[in-house]
């Protein structure tokens, strides 16, 4: 499948993975969400033709590159910590390296094993969120 880019506003379902879908839902509720786009069906070494254009449109110094694999999170399983995130990506060369890194993390031993245990499958469709970094004063996790 060819990798394509979607803005958060274009996302209407969870086929882009839980992170991307969650960000789109927050944005639709009118909450402040740092600008981002999603690479659907990301593949190492193969980038959408308009990648650089979307990256420049974020108009920022640094971005986070995060996994948003299909089936990554659900009612019965969570892949939290299984796939890699790359922070403080500062240019298009680093962006491509970070995308490749996230995609490759779907094939690491612990991620493959978890995928097999939870879903009886050995691969997941990897989508990647590219989002403007936020210089946070505080941060936390809420369950």
Q: What is d(CA 33, CA 108) in angstroms, rounded to the nearest whole number?
A: 30
Q: Which residues of 40-66 are buried (b: 16+ CB within 10 A; e: fewer)?
A: bbbbeeebbeebeebbeebeeeebbbb
pLDDT tens, position by position, 62-107: 999 998 876 555 455 555 556 789 999 999 999 999 999 999 887 7
Give percent of the chain with pLDDT exceeding 90: 55
**Among residues 96, 93, 99, 5, which one has the least CA distance to residue 50?**
5
pTM as predicted = 0.83
85 touches 67 (CB < 8 A): yes
Residue 126 or 81, more confident: 126
pLDDT of residue 52: 96
């Amino acid at each position: 499948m060819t990798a394509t880019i979607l803005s958060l506003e274009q996302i209407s379902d969870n086929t882009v993975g839980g992170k991307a879908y969650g960000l789109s839902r927050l944005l639709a509720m009118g909450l402040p969400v740092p600008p981002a786009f999603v690479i659907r069906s990301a593949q190492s070494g193969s980038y959408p033709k308009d990648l650089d254009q979307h990256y420049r449109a974020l108009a920022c110094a640094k971005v986070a590159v995060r996994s948003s694999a299909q089936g990554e999170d659900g009612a019965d399983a969570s892949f939290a910590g299984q796939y890699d995130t790359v922070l403080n990506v500062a240019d298009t060369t680093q962006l491509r390296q970070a995308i490749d890194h996230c995609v490759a993390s779907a094939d690491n031993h612990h991620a493959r094993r978890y995928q097999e245990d939870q879903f009886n499958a050995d691969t997941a469709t990897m989508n990647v969120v590219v989002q403007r970094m936020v210089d946070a004063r505080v941060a936390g996790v809420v369950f």
